[in-house]
């Protein structure tokens, strides 16, 4: 559970970052990206990605459209919005500030 | 979840769920395929993918909440919160909804009637291409005529070919008919004669059977068929298809005959006739009309309608028809009396012919009521503004009371738009509730008003069902009310300073100035409604006091029916025998008879008077029995009344009224002069000698007496017996019902009325205006009083501390009251000034409807002012007293 909570807090940040860097992705694509890039460290129940995606969408940070994959299936592609980029910037800064603060404490303790 | 969210989930969730399922399914399948590609057996892959994904239903539910909730949540919360807040102030809320629903109901009712009678196009093919012909008469009482005769119609129709297809539709008349299943009872139905091609030109199809064709026009009297309207078919026969092919009997009172007509079809349900407000029951081919009407240039009995051909301008068609009309008139002019002046002949020939749009049907009812209905609609609109201002005031006061709550919300980060939304939703709740209640009010009120548009003999019937036009109007009204009267309080609420109200110990950040604006608005509009309503009520009162020239109390009007078909001559002789016998009935003073009721519309006759300049004069003609003037208590001013000897056919005596004598003979005595004309088919050629001059009577109380020629009854048929009673008329009715058949079994008493209500019915328009505008004026007055009371009460509560200080500093009770009232004095004065100006402006539109009432008269101006002042004083009294009784000790400890 602890691992999942850690991910849940940072999941929106990861999603925004991936979408900002990799362009439009569907849910499964995002899940595999997170999986490979974080060495399975942050692996959780993959389905929890979807409520997070939909919340970001409702908040206007990402937008979605339906498209057809090479295999001819309908997939929902997500894309970051301008508001999303701004949010990503400030979230990233805050995250870095927190981690460096926590890092300092851990080093000095 | 609440009702609302369930409802919207049902609406939206289907699509949301489907999309979520597709998305999650895609993920699972992609994962399974990836695992299979890595060499994991399919079954195992499915299991692994499922484990890594978690429970799809759980994610779906979570996502669904994310997607649906924000959309609903704020709205739902506001609705709930608003409803709770409104319920807490149940009395105020109920008052607001009640006054608003009354006003909205009045507006919706007014609109539905205005729409049905004035605006809605006829349900025919391309109504915009439909026209009807009129020509100016030179008679100021009836400036344009739209009735034509058969030869003129035939010639115009031929002339217009290629430009406009003309067809004839007679004026509508209530005629007695006997249906096969009615047990011999006569029923009155609204009938219309139409040319055979009328339905085809209108573009009407049959709901059952067939409609008329040109084949029904071959020869007068040849085609004894009839078509019934869909509504009549439903109402009278329950939609029974077997009525087609059956025959009924129709009594034509003018032609004095009874004929059997076979029903051959039912018209389409949407078509109710071409006269809004007077839907047709039965149509007959015009060849079945009075035989005397064919080939006769003097017998005007139908309107000429036309469908303008595609690509032809109405002006083009009009000029073609006008040319033909002028030719006809030139020919006819040669037949006028030898001593007719050349100017009169030139005028006669030059009479233009107009084609008027018949898109929404020519309607005398509309001509009569268009202006009154618009005025009533405007008054209803004013009352709506007053009621709406009350609601706005209510919300302003409530916002003030909730200042702390709103301030707190703003302080903790609620956006101003959320606060505006909150207040707007509350007023929308009130508006929606009031609109729904208003629709109920309208559903009751509109038919009541409709019955006031016509007499019970010839009832008006309007299609008032809730169609899209009415729904749209109500919805727009609700939106306007919310927008106009909800927005000001909402903006005020959002303008509350976030922290100010929390800090200020009872110091209000909101001034009651907005309330005062609404006070001014209410007083202005209230005064306008009172002013106009007052004028109309006064006018009606004056009109009701006009002396009609005869005594209407204790006068019974009996319509007689014959139980079998009899020759007109025999019927008349029998009637003249019955009349003296009725005088023996206890309580009866005088008995007479006439073809029409005393105030009924007599027919008019065109004639020439030898030896005068009157080439063509039009006069009302009224056939009467002996003792008519005695029964009506109309004095004979010169000569003598009719005696029994005058009733012998061909006796040639006539009586005229004073108006006739003065208009056509001037200072020369009319007595002994002759009228050279034929009044009916069985007249001799002998000239008619004027043997008496009767005092004037009015059949239109608004106008000066019209010229009337009284003919002996012998020359026409009759159906109306007049009984002057020595006792109140009602008690005589059963006795007369018995006495008449026993005097002669040929007769039966049909409808019996007392003359007094009949007089009232001629003032339909004035009564409608007076009663409704009077009612609205009273409602408006009450609303203004309530509004003023509310504003003053609120300001007393708001200023309790201030009052306490004033009293503590030695201000007397009078001073306190003064201080309280000074605030509303200025808006009141402004409102009164604006109201009077607006009222005078509005009075321009009612002026033509007023009878002997001057808008600028001191009394007209003073009355509404005094009423409003009285109401305002009453409304201010309670809050002012409360202010005067404020105890400084209690007030300063307050808060």
- Domain membership flag for residue B826: yes
Which of residues 34 through 53 in chain A touch B, CB cutoff 8 A? 43, 45-48, 50-51, 53
- Domain membership flag for residue B82: no
d(CA B108, CA B384): 11
pLDDT at B507 over 60: no
For B29, the closest chain A residue by CA position comes to A28
Residues of A in contact with B55 (CB under 8 A): 47
Query: Over the range B233-249, which residues count as b (16 or more CB within 10 Å of their CB) and which as e?
Result: beebbeeeeebbeeebb
How far B31 CA sits from the closest chain A CA (Å)?
A: 8
Residues of A in contact with B18 (CB under 8 A): none
Query: Dihedrals φ, ψ of B809, to 5°?
Result: -85, 5
**Which tens digits make up the pLDDT trace of A5-60?**
455 567 888 889 889 988 888 888 888 888 877 766 556 678 888 888 888 888 88
Residues of B in contact with A40 (CB under 8 A): none
Structural domain ending residue among the three candidates B364, B385, B406: B364
How remote is the C-alpha of B508 from its chain's centroid? Answer: 49
Number of domains in chain B: 4
Quote the pLDDT of residue B204.
92
Tally A–B CB contacts below 8 A. 59
Which of residues 84 through 103 in chain A touch B, CB cutoff 8 A? none
Quote the pLDDT of residue B387.
87
d(CA B5, CA B344): 80
Number of domains in chain A: 1
Structural domain ending residue among the three candidates B52, B68, B84: B68
* Same domain as B692, residue B629: yes
- Domain membership flag for residue B88: no
**Which tens digits make up the pLDDT trace of B768-779?**
888 888 888 888
CB nearest to A73's CB, from B26, B53, B58: B26
The distance between the two most distant Cα atoms of chain A, rounded to a whole number of Å, is 56
CATH of the domain at A62: 1.10.10.10
Quote the pLDDT of residue B522.
86
**B100 or B748: which leads in pLDDT:** B100
**Interchain proximity B52–A76, CB inside 8 Å:** no
**CB hemisphere CA count around B759 (13 angstroms):** 23
Best CA proximity match to B525, nearest among B375, B374, B380: B380
How far B23 CA sits from the closest chain A CA (Å)?
A: 6
* Same domain as B163, residue B61: no
**Which tens digits make up the pLDDT trace of B357-388?**
998 888 878 877 888 888 888 888 888 888 88
**Which tens digits make up the pLDDT trace of B742-764?**
888 888 777 777 776 666 667 77
* Neighbour-count burial of B381, counting CB atoms closer than 10 A to its CB (0-12 exposed, 13-18 middle, 19+ buried): middle
Question: Which tokens go with A51?
Answer: 């409520």
**Type and span of the H or E element at B693:** strand B688-694
* Same domain as B357, residue B219: yes
Query: Dihedrals φ, ψ of B195, to 5°?
Result: -70, 155
Residues of B in contact with A48 (CB under 8 A): 54, 59
The full length of chain B comes to: 895
How far B413 CA sits from the closest chain A CA (Å)?
A: 18
For A68, the closest chain B residue by CA position comes to B26
- Cβ atoms of B884 and B816 closer than 8 Å: yes
* Same domain as B530, residue B454: yes
Question: Which tokens go with B559?
Answer: 């319509």
For chain A, the C-alpha Rg in angstroms (whole number) is 15
- Cβ atoms of B544 and B763 closer than 8 Å: yes
Residue B88 confidence class, pLDDT cut points 50, 70, 90 = confident
Quote the pLDDT of residue B265.
94
Quote the pLDDT of residue B199.
93
How far B77 CA sits from the closest chain A CA (Å)?
A: 19
Residues of B in contact with A45 (CB under 8 A): 52-54
* Same domain as B64, residue B156: no
d(CA B582, CA B626): 14
Mean pLDDT of the region A78-104: 89
Quote the pLDDT of residue A2.
38
- Cβ atoms of B675 and B690 closer than 8 Å: yes
**Interchain proximity A47–B58, CB inside 8 Å:** yes
Domain coverage including residue B400: 366-544+764-892
Neighbours of B798 (CB within 10 A): 19
**Interchain proximity B27–A27, CB inside 8 Å:** yes
Question: Is the CB of residue A9 less than 8 Å away from at least one CB of chain B?
Answer: no
* Same domain as B270, residue B142: yes
**Interchain proximity A50–B30, CB inside 8 Å:** no
d(CA B222, CA B174): 23
Domain coverage including residue A79: 5-108
* Same domain as B698, residue B729: yes
* Same domain as B353, residue B204: yes
Residues of A in contact with B60 (CB under 8 A): 50
* Neighbour-count burial of B462, counting CB atoms closer than 10 A to its CB (0-12 exposed, 13-18 middle, 19+ buried): buried
Tokens 């109380």 appear where?
A: B701
- Domain membership flag for residue B554: no
Residue B25 confidence class, pLDDT cut points 50, 70, 90 = confident
For A77, the closest chain B residue by CA position comes to B23
Residues of A in contact with B24 (CB under 8 A): 47, 50
Residue B285 confidence class, pLDDT cut points 50, 70, 90 = very high
Neighbours of B844 (CB within 10 A): 9
* Same domain as B573, residue B494: no
Quick check: helix, strand or coil at residue B434? helix
Quote the pLDDT of residue B498.
66
Residue B517 makes CB contacts below 8 A (sequence gap 6+) with: B827
For A29, the closest chain B residue by CA position comes to B27
- Cβ atoms of B660 and B622 closer than 8 Å: no
- Cβ atoms of B731 and B559 closer than 8 Å: no
**Interchain proximity A58–B56, CB inside 8 Å:** no
**Interchain proximity B63–A54, CB inside 8 Å:** yes
Question: Which tokens go with B200?
Answer: 């085809």
Residue B172 confidence class, pLDDT cut points 50, 70, 90 = confident
Question: Which tokens go with B453?
Answer: 């548009």
Residues of B in contact with A46 (CB under 8 A): 27, 31, 52-54
Alpha carbon of B512 to those of B273, B489, B515, B796: distances in Å? 56, 11, 5, 11
Quote the pLDDT of residue B640.
92
* Same domain as B355, residue B225: yes
- Look over chain B and give the mean of its residue pLDDT values, rounded to a whole number: 81
pLDDT at B418 over 80: no
Quote the pLDDT of residue B182.
79
* Same domain as B423, residue B384: yes
For A40, the closest chain B residue by CA position comes to B52
- Cβ atoms of B587 and B724 closer than 8 Å: no
Quick check: helix, strand or coil at residue B600? coil
CB nearest to A54's CB, from B27, B56, B66: B66
d(CA B124, CA B205): 10
Question: Is the CB of residue A12 less than 8 Å away from at least one CB of chain B?
Answer: no
CB nearest to B70's CB, from A58, A74, A76: A58
Highest mean pLDDT out of B106-115, B191-200, B285-294:
B191-200
Tokens 């205005």 appear where?
A: B114
- Domain membership flag for residue B432: yes
Ranking A38-52, B507-521, B794-808 by mean pLDDT, the lowest is: B507-521
- Domain membership flag for residue B551: no
Quote the pLDDT of residue B6.
46
Pick from B55, B63, B71, B73 the residue to mutate for testing the A interface (most A CBs within 10 Å): B63
* Same domain as B509, residue B472: yes
Best CA proximity match to B554, nearest among B730, B692, B358: B730
Pairing of strands B130-136, B187-194: unpaired
């Amino acid at each position: 559970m602890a691992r999942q909570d850690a991910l849940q807090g940072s999941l929106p940040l990861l999603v925004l970052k991936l979408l900002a860097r990799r362009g439009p992705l569907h849910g499964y694509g995002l899940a595999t990206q997170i999986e490979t890039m974080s060495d399975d460290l942050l692996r959780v129940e993959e389905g929890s990605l979807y409520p997070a995606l939909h919340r970001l969408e409702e908040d206007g940070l990402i937008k979605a459209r339906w498209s057809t994959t090479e295999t001819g299936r309908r997939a929902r592609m997500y894309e970051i919005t301008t508001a999303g980029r701004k949010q990503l910037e400030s979230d990233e800064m805050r995250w870095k500030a927190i981690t460096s603060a926590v890092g300092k404490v851990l080093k000095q303790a | 979840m609440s009702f609302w969210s369930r409802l919207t989930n049902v609406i939206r969730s289907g699509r949301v769920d489907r999309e979520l399922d597709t998305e999650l399914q895609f993920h699972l399948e992609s994962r399974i395929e990836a695992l299979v590609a890595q060499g994991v057996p399919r079954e195992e892959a499915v299991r692994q993918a499922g484990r890594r994904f978690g429970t799809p239903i759980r994610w779906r539910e979570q996502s669904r909440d994310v997607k649906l909730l924000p959309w609903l949540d704020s709205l739902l919360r506001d609705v709930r919160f608003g409803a709770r807040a409104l319920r807490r102030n149940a009395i105020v809320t109920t008052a607001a909804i009640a006054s608003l629903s009354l006003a909205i109901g009045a507006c919706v009712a007014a609109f539905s009637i205005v729409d049905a009678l004035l605006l809605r196009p006829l349900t025919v093919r391309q109504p915009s291409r439909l026209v009807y012909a009129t020509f100016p008469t030179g008679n100021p009482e009836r400036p344009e005529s739209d009735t034509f005769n058969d030869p003129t119609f035939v010639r115009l129709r031929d002339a217009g070919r290629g430009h406009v297809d003309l067809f004839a539709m007679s004026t509508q008349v209530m005629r007695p008919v006997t249906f096969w299943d009615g047990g011999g009872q006569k029923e009155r139905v609204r009938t219309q004669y139409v040319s055979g091609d009328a339905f085809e030109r209108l573009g009407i199809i049959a709901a059952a059977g067939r409609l008329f064709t040109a084949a029904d026009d071959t020869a007068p009297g040849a085609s004894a068929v009839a078509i019934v309207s869909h509504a009549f078919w439903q109402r009278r026969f329950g939609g029974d298809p077997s009525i087609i092919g059956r025959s009924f009997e129709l009594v034509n009172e003018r032609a004095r005959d009874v004929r059997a007509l076979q029903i051959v079809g039912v018209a389409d349900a949407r078509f109710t006739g071409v006269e809004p407000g007077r839907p047709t029951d039965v149509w007959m081919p015009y060849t079945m009309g009075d035989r005397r009407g064919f080939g006769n240039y003097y017998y005007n009995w139908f309107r000429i309608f036309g469908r303008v051909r595609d690509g032809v301008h109405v002006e083009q068609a009009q000029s073609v028809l006008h040319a033909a009309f002028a030719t006809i008139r030139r020919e006819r002019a040669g037949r006028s009396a030898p001593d007719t002046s050349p100017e009169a002949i030139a005028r006669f020939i030059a009479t233009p012919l107009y084609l008027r749009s018949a898109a929404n049907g020519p309607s005398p009812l509309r001509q009569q009521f268009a202006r009154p209905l618009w005025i009533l609609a405007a008054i209803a609109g004013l009352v709506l503004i007053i009621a709406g201002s009350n609601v706005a005031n209510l919300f302003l006061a409530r916002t003030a009371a909730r200042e702390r709550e709103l301030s707190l919300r703003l302080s903790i980060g609620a956006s101003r738009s959320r606060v505006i939304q909150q207040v707007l939703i509350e007023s929308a709740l009130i508006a929606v509730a009031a609109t729904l209640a208003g629709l109920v009010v309208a559903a009751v009120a509109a038919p009541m008003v409709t019955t006031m548009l016509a007499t019970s003999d010839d009832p008006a019937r309007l299609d008032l069902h809730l169609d899209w036009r009415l729904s749209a109007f109500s919805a727009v009204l609700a939106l306007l009310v919310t927008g106009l009267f909800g927005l000001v309080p909402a903006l005020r609420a959002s303008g509350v300073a976030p922290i100010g109200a929390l800090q200020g110990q009872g110091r209000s950040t909101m001034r009651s100035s907005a309330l005062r604006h609404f006070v001014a608005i209410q007083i202005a509009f209230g005064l306008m409604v009172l002013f106009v309503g007052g004028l109309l009520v006064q006018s009606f009162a004056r009109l009701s006091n006009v002396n009609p020239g005869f005594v209407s109390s204790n006068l019974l009007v009996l319509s007689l029916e014959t139980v079998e078909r009899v020759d007109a001559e025999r019927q008349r002789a029998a009637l003249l025998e019955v009349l003296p016998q009725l005088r023996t009935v206890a309580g009866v003073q005088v008995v007479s008879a006439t073809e029409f009721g005393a105030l009924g519309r007599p027919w008019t006759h065109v004639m020439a008077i030898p030896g005068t300049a009157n080439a063509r004069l039009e006069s009302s003609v009224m056939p009467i029995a002996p003792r008519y003037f005695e029964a009506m208590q109309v004095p004979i001013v010169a000569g003598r009344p009719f005696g029994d000897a005058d009733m012998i056919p061909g006796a040639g005596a006539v009586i005229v009224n004073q108006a006739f004598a003065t208009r056509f003979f001037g200072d020369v005595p009319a007595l002994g002069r002759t009228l050279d004309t034929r009044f009916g088919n069985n007249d001799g050629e002998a000239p008619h000698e004027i043997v008496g001059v009767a005092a004037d009577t009015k059949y239109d109380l608004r106008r000066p007496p019209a010229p009337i020629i009284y003919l002996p009854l012998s020359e026409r048929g009759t159906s109306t017996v007049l009984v002057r009673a020595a006792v109140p008329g009602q008690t005589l009715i059963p006795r007369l019902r018995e006495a008449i058949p026993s005097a002669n079994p040929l007769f039966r008493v049909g409808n019996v009325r007392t003359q007094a209500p009949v007089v009232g019915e001629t003032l339909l328009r004035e009564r409608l205006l007076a009663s409704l505008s009077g009612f609205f004026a009273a409602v408006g007055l009450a609303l203004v009083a309530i509004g003023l009371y509310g504003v003053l009460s609120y300001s007393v509560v708001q200023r309790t501390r201030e009052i306490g200080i004033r009293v503590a500093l030695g201000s007397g009770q009078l001073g306190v009251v003064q201080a309280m009232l000074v605030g509303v004095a200025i808006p009141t004065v402004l409102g009164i000034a604006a109201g009077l100006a607006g009222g005078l402006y509005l009075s321009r539109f009612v002026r033509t409807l007023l009878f002997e009432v001057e808008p600028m008269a001191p009394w007209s101006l003073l009355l509404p002012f005094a009423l409003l002042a009285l109401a305002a004083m009453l409304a201010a009294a309670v809050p002012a007293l409360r202010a005067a009784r404020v105890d400084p000790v209690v007030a300063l400890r307050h808060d």
